[in-house]
Every structure is written in C-alpha cells, then in structure tokens.
Amino acid sequence: MSRFKNESAIPLSLETLWFTHSPPTFPYPALRQLGTILNANYAWESTPSLTPGIGTEHIFIGAVAWAEDTDSTTHPPGPSGVITKIRVRWISASPTSATGEVKNIFPTTTHTARQEVTHTHLQRASEWYAPDILGYVKSHIGFTIGDGECWTLAYKALQHAAAKALHEGREPPMLSTGRVHGSLIFEWTACAEYPITYASGILRHVPTGIRAGDILELSDGLFRTRHAALTGLVGTQHAENVRFSAHTAVIVEVKMEDSTLGVIEQNGRARLVVAENEYNLSNMLGGVVRVYRPIGISLVAGSNLHDVSLAGVCDAW
C-alpha cells in the first residue's frame, strides 16, 4: 500500500504554519512529496471567538486527489481513486497550538478511453497555450513563485494558461502531474559517446519540433560546463561536471543547430528565484532529457481534472 493511502503516515507539518499563509500553502511540500497530486482544493471559515482575548477561530479543510502509482514518463498517471482530506483548527492568538486531522475517502470515478495525440493536436496546442505560458514566466523573472521549487513555475504557468483558455472559451491544458507536463515529444538518455546534437540527427528528427512554450524535464542530468578565465595574460579553460537529480524549466528559445535550449526556470542558477538560463544538450554526459508539449485535457482522458473533480469535497468534514 502506498504511503499516501495510509492516513497515519501523512504528515500535517503544522509546525511550518502553512495554513496561516495568505493564500495557504496547500498542498504543502511534505504532502507533495508523498506522491503525484492530480488536483487540490481547500476552503476555510473564520469566526470571532466567544472567549475574550483569544482572537478569531479558524477552520481549514483541504483535499488532494492522488494519482495512481506509475513509472510512466510517456503518459500522465490516472487517478488512484483516493482523496485525502485534511482539517486544521487554530486560533489567531496561538497558531502554534493548531490541531489537525486526516481522513481518506474513496469516491467512485468513471474512466474514458485515452485519445491518440496527433501532429495536428500538438501544433494546435502550441498555438493555443504557448503564448500564455511564455507571458507568465517572462513576467515573473526575478520573483519567487509559490514554494520556490522548479516544478512550481511550470505548474503555475499552466494554471495561468488554463485560466486564459477558459476565459476565451477554449479547452484548458492539463496541469502538471508529477514530472509529466503534457505529451512527451522528445526523450533521450545522454552519454558521452553519443552527444545530443543536431548534426548527429538526434535533434533533427523530433516529430513535431521543439518549440518555445514546451516544458523541459531533466532527470539525473550530468553536464560538463567550461569556464574561461584569465590568469595574468594567459587564458585558461576550466571544466567541471554539474549534476542534479531532477529539474523542470520552461523553454523560451530553441537554437537547434547549436543544441541549445534557452529556458526560464526557478531554483536553477538562482536559488528559489525565477531566472533565465540555457542548456547546451551537447554538454550533457548522462541522465535523461525529456520535452513535453502542453495539451488539452480531453487528450489525456482518465487523468484530467474532470475525472478528479473536488467540487464540494471541502464544504464539510
């Protein structure tokens, strides 16, 4: 049984006071670490206390819908059928004395068949969603989004694109589910013997072409970087290997013949801050590079927000 299905194993992290933030930091980091969350919602109420001097009494009720356990990087995970509800009570005069409860519910869900994603779908998705994704990340350079993690920037950009799409009467894109951000259009395991370059053909034959607005996902990435320096009047080159376990970034520029992807990322070169960067894939010595194209939720039937609706779940305990 997965940890997130075991109520006693779910940390409340009350000591971080995530529930007092405006808006609340939900799902909070310890909860997100338990598994892939397909959807989340919350509600709260505040009433003046009848006891003089202790301020306002608050009740927070939040819910998360978990994804099924899967190692697939090609398709987003479907719903697990488990929704975890969390209730926190506290008074404004003493939030450190908050108490919390956890319970799981198992609503009945209906699954529909997954549609085949065509080249036309991918082109239209880029035209629909990329401008709003790019607008969002570019407008937040220099800021910290949410908890400052790299994944959060991509998730929030997709949320923004979804809101714009609904406002304009179009289908919204699916939101990030774990490390899957849409339809996988490129995947390659890097090694020093076969560098990821345009000349080698590895980047030349991406079926739909990597575009600005796509989302880059690096897993166990190992890069060799070279730094030029001047010692006296003599120029020197210094090379070092840089490794990170997992990293998410939004692609904003594609220089295919140089094997370089310009990105806007959070918690990359600048810790916990949104900033510009670029990755030369020909310098990637190990790990896996994946590129996802954000696509409409109808193309990921069985794992979209319509299938894991939390409407009304937080209205009562």
**What is the CATH number for 275?**
3.90.1720
Asked whether the predicted pLDDT for residue 2 surpasses 60, the reply is no
**49 and 185 in one domain?**
no
**128 and 193 in one domain?**
yes
**123 and 70 in one domain?**
no
Radius of gyration of the chain from its Cα atoms, rounded to whole angstroms: 22
* pLDDT one-digit tens code per residue, 179-213: 889 999 999 999 888 889 888 888 877 767 899 99
Q: Which domain holds residue 170?
A: 119-299
Residue 77 has what pLDDT? 57
Mean pLDDT lowest for which of 64-78, 83-97, 261-275?
Answer: 64-78
**85 and 225 in one domain?**
no
- The answer to the question of residue 110 being in a domain is no
Number of separate domains in the chain: 2
- The answer to the question of residue 52 being in a domain is yes
Short-list 38, 25, 45, CA closest to 82: 38
Mean pLDDT, the chain, integer: 84
Asked whether the predicted pLDDT for residue 228 surpasses 60, the reply is no
Residue 269 has what pLDDT? 86
Asked whether the predicted pLDDT for residue 217 surpasses 60, the reply is yes
Helix (H, G, I), strand (E, B) or coil at 21: coil
Two structure tokens written together for 5: 């299905």
Asked whether the predicted pLDDT for residue 261 surpasses 60, the reply is yes
- The answer to the question of residue 139 being in a domain is yes
**214 and 145 in one domain?**
yes
* pLDDT one-digit tens code per residue, 280-317: 999 999 999 999 999 998 787 544 444 566 778 888 88
Distances (CA, A) of 206 to 105, 152, 239: 43, 27, 30
- The answer to the question of residue 272 being in a domain is yes
Residue 304 has what pLDDT? 41
Residue 78 has what pLDDT? 56
* pLDDT > 90 fraction of the chain, expressed in percent and rounded: 44
Query: Which residue among 47, 79, 105 closes a domain?
Result: 105
Short-list 256, 304, 297, 293, CA closest to 122: 293
**253 and 132 in one domain?**
yes
Beta strands per DSSP E along 54-114: 56-67, 79-91, 94-105
* pLDDT one-digit tens code per residue, 32-58: 888 777 778 888 898 887 777 778 999
Query: Which residue among 105, 132, 166 closes a domain?
Result: 105
What band does 1 get if pLDDT is binned at 50, 70 and 90? very low
**242 and 292 in one domain?**
yes
